[in-house]
Amino acid sequence: MRPFDPRVTPARADLAAKELYGRVAAPRYAEGRIYEIIAPQTPLRGEPEPDAPLATEALRGERVMVYDTNGEGWAWGQLVTDSYVGWLATNALAPPERPPTHKVAALRTFVFPGPSIKLPPLEALPFGAQLVVAETKDQMAVTPARGYVPAVHLAPIEHYARDFVAVAERFVGAPYLWGGKTILGLDCSGLLQVALAACDFACPRDSDMQEEALGMPVPVAEALADPRRGDLIFWKGHVAIIRDGASLIHANAFHMAVVIEPIAEAVERIRGSGSDISSIKRLPSTP
């Protein structure tokens, strides 16, 4: 039997999700309860410690199935969108209320306490965050809690971008952050996941998962001889997106940023660090 991936399997030494009964051995099993992320963004960590490494981030409006809380401000659960498992701060969670109606289409926007952009903002929301808009008044979207968001920064929840590469290009210059998913910092697989999600394309969180799940393989020599916009280049632990016949875009620790660079230059540099291309994948919807 293929072992379960602990990153996306809600099971640990002392507890497992009830739906895993009979498939995963555990001393006890728990029913999950759905919660909503109410913080603009919140870390998901492998351990219930504030200094534990960042595994990924959850954004406002995302749902998480919570199986356990430790009484010290941490909840253990599984994100609904990409199935990632880990610990989140309980103060970033609340029982869900109304389904979100809109999402943030700007790289970042502000929530104001009143209908004036001169007021000190209450918080900042990242690209992809979801929220409920109760009404739109004087070019401001108003939430049920009477937060005011510039309507021009939002899009209806059912609206999707058409070109995920163009979405990724908007993040050029963002700093590299392991596990990050916002303009404040993101990693290579986070950039790809955010860009594809903006186009309603389901995408796993980590690059090895993405390599296995996404697209159809194209022979490496063929793909490099005729690069197609939207093709994905994978190395062990890394992914880049081809922009055109000469360049790619990726978040990487060499530049510590999201950058556009020549394909040949990136391939040669990464080969020099000891890693060759493992595959090139083509998505069915790539233009």
For 27-47, what is each residue's pLDDT tens digit?
999 999 999 999 999 999 999
Helix, coil or strand: residue 141: strand
What is the four-CA torsion angle of 38, 41, 47, 52, rounded to 10 degrees? -150
| Other beta carbons less than 10 A from residue 120's beta carbon | 7
Please say whether the beta carbons of 116 and 110 come within 8 A: no
Q: How far apart are CA 42 and CA 281, in angstroms?
A: 31
| Backbone angles phi and psi of 123, in degrees to 5 | -165, 170
Residue 3 has a pLDDT of 74
Residue 2 has a pLDDT of 53
| Backbone angles phi and psi of 263, in degrees to 5 | -60, -50
pTM for this model (two decimals): 0.96
Give me 66's structure tokens.
């919570």
Q: How far apart are CA 266 and CA 169, in angstroms?
A: 17
Q: Is the pLDDT of residue 244 over 50?
A: yes
Q: How far apart are CA 57 and CA 37, in angstroms?
A: 10
Please say whether the beta carbons of 70 and 48 come within 8 A: yes
Q: Name 242's bridge partners.
A: 248
Angle formed at CA 125 by CA 193 and CA 285, multiple of 5 degrees: 25
Q: Is the pLDDT of residue 287 over 60?
A: no
Q: How far apart are CA 28 and CA 180, in angstroms?
A: 32
Residue 268 has a pLDDT of 97
For 117-176, what is each residue's pLDDT tens digit?
999 999 999 999 999 999 999 999 999 999 999 999 999 999 999 999 999 999 999 999
Residue 1 has a pLDDT of 39
Give me 182's structure tokens.
């916002």
| Half-sphere CA count of 42, side-chain side, radius 13 A | 22
Please say whether the beta carbons of 104 and 141 come within 8 A: no
Please say whether the beta carbons of 227 and 266 come within 8 A: no
For 8-27, what is each residue's pLDDT tens digit?
999 999 999 999 999 999 99
- Number of residues assigned to the chain: 287
Question: Who contacts 124 (Cβ-Cβ below 8 Å, separation ≥6)?
Answer: 40, 108, 109, 110, 111
Mean pLDDT of 253-277: 97
For 166-222, what is each residue's pLDDT tens digit?
999 999 999 999 999 999 999 999 999 999 999 999 999 999 999 999 999 999 999
Residue 285 has a pLDDT of 66
Please say whether the beta carbons of 131 and 61 come within 8 A: yes
Angle formed at CA 45 by CA 42 and CA 46, multiple of 5 degrees: 165
